[in-house]
Structure formats: C-alpha cells, structure tokens
A and B are shown apart, each in its own frame.
Chain A
Amino acid sequence: MVWLVTFHSSLIPGFLVSWPTRTQRRKAEIGCRGETCIRPAPTSAFGALHPLTMQLIELGILGLFAGAVGALTGIGGGLIITPVLTLVAGVPIHQAIGTSLCCVIATSSGAAASYVEHHLSNIRLGMTLELGTTLGAVAGALVAARLPREVLGILFAILLTYAGGTMVRRSLQAEGPESEEVANYTIRHLPIGLLGSGVAGVVSGLLGIGGGPIKVPLMYLVMGIPFKVATATSNFMIGVTASASAFIYYARGDVRLLITAPTAIGVFVGASLATHIMRRTPSRWLVRLFSLIMFYFALMMIWKSVQGGFAR
C-alpha cells in the first residue's frame, strides 16, 4: 500500500510539489555534491521546453542517426557515436567514449542473438578469444583515463581513417566472400589470435568501439575462420569486451546518466529500425558516402585535437 502511494506520488507533475524541500531532501538522500546536480527549474515540464528536455531529445536523435548508420554500414555504432557526441553535441571525449561503450552493448546484442540462433557464432572460439579482449579492454580503459583528450582524438582519427579505408576497399571488391563453407574449418594460430584479441581489446577500451574492425580480419585472414563465422563471432564478443571497460569508465564518472541513457535508447531504436526495415545490404554508393563522412570526422577530430577544441 505504501509502495502504491509512493508510486503515484512519483507520477504527480513537479509543479504540484514544492521544489526546494523536495530537491534538498533528495540531495541529502543521494549525497549529491551540488556541482553535478541539475538546477531546479522555475517552471514545470509542461511549460516551455526545458534545457534538459532539449538535451534528451537532441541526444536521442543523434543516437538514432548513429545507430541506423552503424547498422546499415555494418561497422557498428561505436565508430559513429564518439565523433557525433564530441563534434556535434560537444560532449567531453572521455564521456563520449563511456557512452559509446554502453551503446555498443545495446546494438551488438540484437545482431549477436540472431547470429547465435543461426549457429554462425563459434561460441567456444568467442569465449576463448574473450580472454584476450577482456584483459586488453581493462588495460585500455585504465590507460585511456590517463591520456589527454587530444591524444584520444588523434587516435580516434587514425581508427576512423582505417575503418573508412576498409569500407572503400570492400565496396570496390567485385563480390564479398559469400559462398563459402561455414561448418567445416580448422582454427589456426590460436596464440596469435589471443594476442591480437588483446590488442583489439586495448583499442576497444581506449576508444570505446567493439573492436570488430580488428577482430574480423584477424580471424578471417590469420586464423582461417570463414568470413561469416568471423563476423558473427566478433559480434558475439563485442558485448563482453565493451562491458569489461565500461565499468572502469563508470567508476571514473564517465558514464553520465543524462548523456548515456538518451543516446543508448536512440541507438537501440535506430539500429533496430535499420535492420528490420532495410534487410538488404546497403548499396555501394551509400557505403562510399558514409566512408566519406568518416574521413570528414577524422579530419575534424584531428583539427579539434590540434586546436585544443575538445570540451572539458
């Protein structure tokens, strides 16, 4: 009964409650130190759009875009979210990376689930390589905390250029490796694979991506895994890899509630819409267009790093 009453009181619009006492009580409850608290607004949410409402809508739309583009081009949301958050929304790069890690978990899960259901993911191989990626991810996240914004910006620009180049090359190839055997293959060079997974984990922990651009070529070219299985298994590993570093960002306060939650919701919806509505693979011109956007993002990241224009 008490629970019901408190539940309903939480649904009462704010203007019916006296703000100062409510806010002060809440501050005392949660040990808020003041500087990170949203200032009490004089008007209710039903009046003019409050800055918080605007922020949530803006981040939700950016997330929607990033999620859709990530799903359409197959590069995952991680490479898009951080540049969009830092360059468009002015989010500090460490917080953008923390947000990106959370979003990557949300977007990869859906695709990973269907790959697993279609027996494409090699769960045992994925679990083994996760030994490398998680250790690397923890190390990468710890290092990222000590790196200045500008260094992270330049590293991210390099990654964007590399991924954009991969996309262009793939769009120039006549046909992807489509008609290959996905059931019978032998895993080669497991130690190199583990080491490479560690590197992929470090990059993921540093820059907040899932590590797909490194893991897929590693499995396909070095370990002799069929391309489809490599993609599916890489996707399977993304969530665990990202969460291994996300908690360290969280501990440093770089997973901000009002940035992460709206972006993650947008990314989740955007990625789901993109995969369900557009089932076919995107046209080559679309892929080339998006690779151009990535090169542009890369230039902007370098420009901002050199200028020292990243938000604190």
Chain B
Amino acid sequence: MSRFSQDKAERAIAVVLRYGSLISTLIMALGLGLMLLRGPALSIPAYHRIRLSLLLPMLVRFDPAALTEFGVLLLLLTPLFRILVAMGSFALERDFKYVLISLGVLVTVLVSISFAIEG
C-alpha cells in the first residue's frame, strides 16, 4: 500500500469524524433553538424507535423535535460512516483481509441498529 493512498484514506476518515459530530451538534442546536422560539409547549414525542415514515415528513416541515432527533441519530450514525469510509479505502488498496474485518464490525453495529428500527 502506498503512503499516498493511505494519506488520502486517513484524510477522508478525519473529515467524516470531524464534520459528522459538528454537523449533528449544529442540527441538534437548531432543533432546540426552534423549540424554544416556538414556545416550549410542543408535545415532545417519545422516540423509542427510528420511525422514518414519521420522522422524514416532520423533518421536511422543520419540526423542532424531529430536527433534534435527526441530529441525535446523525451523531450516532457518524461512526457507521467512518467504518464505511475505512472499508472503502481498504477495498481500494485491495487489502481484503481488512475489508472482511471492517465488514465484521459493520455487521455488529448494524445488528445493534436493528434493535432500534421499528419492525
């Protein structure tokens, strides 16, 4: 593996880590800010599961609670994106042993996510 391609992979991973948490924090702040601006009297849904069919339409309408929820979910998903980027870079380097290892980690996290998705 060349130093150059590893550099690029490291930079891509750093970008995901840095901006993933930054963007999700900003979205959470926007959601909470809107919640306070509109008056705190809105009912806050008890999110126990990821219900995309409910979350997405509310997100389009800039619902404060849905925005905040989206920020939290994005934060929790940032590590998943990081695994995907690392896996992609291993694949580009044709280092298939580490593609498999990444896949193992990815599957474990996906199993964890499957607990949270409403079936």
Q: Bound state CA distance, A262 and B28, in angstroms?
A: 8
Q: 1/0 contact trace for B86-111 toward A, CB 8 Å?
A: 10000000000010011011001101
Q: 1/0 contact trace for A225-255 toward B, CB 8 Å?
A: 0000000000000011011111110111101
Q: Is A176 an interface residue (CB 8 A)?
A: no
Among A7-15, A153-161, A284-292, A293-301, the stretch that binds chain B is: A7-15
Q: 1/0 contact trace for A113-135 toward B, CB 8 Å?
A: 11011010001100110110011
Q: Is A257 an interface residue (CB 8 A)?
A: yes
Find out whether the CB atom of B115 lies under 8 angstroms from the CB atom of A26: no
* CB neighbours of A175 from chain B (8 A): none
Find out whether the CB atom of A29 lies under 8 angstroms from the CB atom of B54: yes
Find out whether the CB atom of B38 lies under 8 angstroms from the CB atom of A134: no
Find out whether the CB atom of B36 lies under 8 angstroms from the CB atom of A53: yes
Interface residues of B in 5-26 (CB under 8 A from A): 9-11, 13-15, 17-18, 20-22, 24-25
* CB neighbours of A251 from chain B (8 A): 48-49, 115-116
Find out whether the CB atom of B54 lies under 8 angstroms from the CB atom of A106: no
Q: 1/0 contact trace for A16-33 toward B, CB 8 Å?
A: 000100110011011111
* CB neighbours of A14 from chain B (8 A): 38-42
Find out whether the CB atom of B109 lies under 8 angstroms from the CB atom of A248: no
A253 to chain B, nearest CB (A): 4
Could you say which interface size class chain A belongs to? 35 or more
* CB neighbours of B43 from chain A (8 A): 23, 26-27, 30, 32, 37-38, 40
B11 to chain A, nearest CB (A): 7
Contact A102:B46 (CB < 8 A) given known A38-B41, A131-B101, A265-B25: no
Q: Bound state CA distance, A269 and B46, in angstroms?
A: 26
Find out whether the CB atom of A56 lies under 8 angstroms from the CB atom of B36: yes
Contact A264:B54 (CB < 8 A) given known A33-B46, A245-B112: no
Find out whether the CB atom of A44 lies under 8 angstroms from the CB atom of B39: yes
Residue of B nearest to A115 (CB): B14
Q: Is A192 an interface residue (CB 8 A)?
A: no
Given contacts A50-B39, A113-B15, A240-B82, 19 further A-B contacts (CB under 8 A): A14-B42, A29-B54, A32-B46, A38-B43, A53-B40, A56-B36, A109-B21, A123-B9, A128-B101, A131-B108, A135-B108, A239-B78, A239-B79, A240-B109, A253-B46, A261-B31, A261-B71, A262-B32, A264-B75
Residues of B within 8 A of A (CB): 9-11, 13-15, 17-18, 20-22, 24-25, 28-29, 31-32, 34-50, 54, 58, 60-65, 68-69, 71-72, 75-80, 82-83, 86, 98, 101-102, 104-105, 108-109, 111-113, 115-116
Can you offer 14 A-B residue contacts whose CB atoms are under 8 A? A30-B54, A38-B44, A102-B72, A102-B75, A105-B76, A106-B75, A109-B18, A110-B21, A113-B14, A117-B10, A243-B112, A250-B47, A257-B65, A261-B71
